[in-house]
Amino acid sequence: MERLLVGIDDSECADRAVEVAARQARDGNAKLLVCYVIAWSPFTFSTPEENAQRHRRREEELEIARRKILEPRISELRGSGLQVEGFARHGHAARTLLQLAKEHEADMIVVGRAGDNPLKSKIFGGTAGALVQSSPIPVLVVP
C-alpha cells in the first residue's frame, strides 16, 4: 500500500477515522492524504451580491478549513513520524473524495460513519454509504 486517503469533517467520528487511517498507514508504510470537503454544488441558486463576493468567500472558506481543521491534525500526525499531505476542496463529499483518490492513485479510502447529520443521511444516504457503493478501491468505514 502506497497512499491512503482519509476524508474528515470536524466531528469526533472523523478523529477516530484519522486514528484508524494513521495506524493503517504506519503498518503499510504508506503516505497519508487527509482531505476536508467543503459542501458546495455548482447547481445552486444565489443572489447577484453573493456571486460578486464568491471568489473572496471561497478563499476564506479554504483558509479556515486549512487553519482550523486540517493543520492541527496534520501537524500531530507528522509529529508521530508519518508522511502526510492535506487537502481542502469544495464539492460533493463522496464525489470529491473519489476524484482525489483517482488523481493521487490512492489504494484505500478511510471515512467515519457518522459525519453527516442523522436525518440528512437517512434521506439522502451518507458519504460513507455513497463511497461504499461507488468506489473502485476499498473503503474502510470507521464507526
Report how far apart, in Å, the C-alpha atoms of 94 and of each of 57, 87, 101, 117, 126 are: 23, 14, 11, 15, 9
* Residue 16 in the binding site for other proteins (CB under 8 A): no
The single residue among 31, 66, 89, 104 that binds other proteins, judged by CB under 8 A, is: 89
Instruction: For the CB of residue 115, give the shortest distance to other proteins in the complex, in Å.
Output: 19
* Residue 67 in the binding site for other proteins (CB under 8 A): no
* Residue 15 in the binding site for other proteins (CB under 8 A): no
Compute CA 66 distance to the chain's CA centroid, rounded to the nearest angstrom: 12
Stretch that binds other proteins, among 2-10, 36-44, 110-118, 123-131 (CB under 8 A): 36-44
H or E element that contains 44: none
**CB-based burial, 83-94: b 16+ in 10 Å, e otherwise:** ebebbbbebbbb
The closest alpha carbon to 128, from 20, 56, 2, belongs to: 20
* Residue 58 in the binding site for other proteins (CB under 8 A): yes
The single residue among 52, 68, 78, 124 that binds other proteins, judged by CB under 8 A, is: 52
* Residue 61 in the binding site for other proteins (CB under 8 A): yes
* Residue 136 in the binding site for other proteins (CB under 8 A): no
The span from the CA of 132 to the CA of 140, in Å, is 9
* Interface with other proteins (CB under 8 A): 38, 40, 42-56, 58-59, 61-62, 89-91, 95-96, 98-99
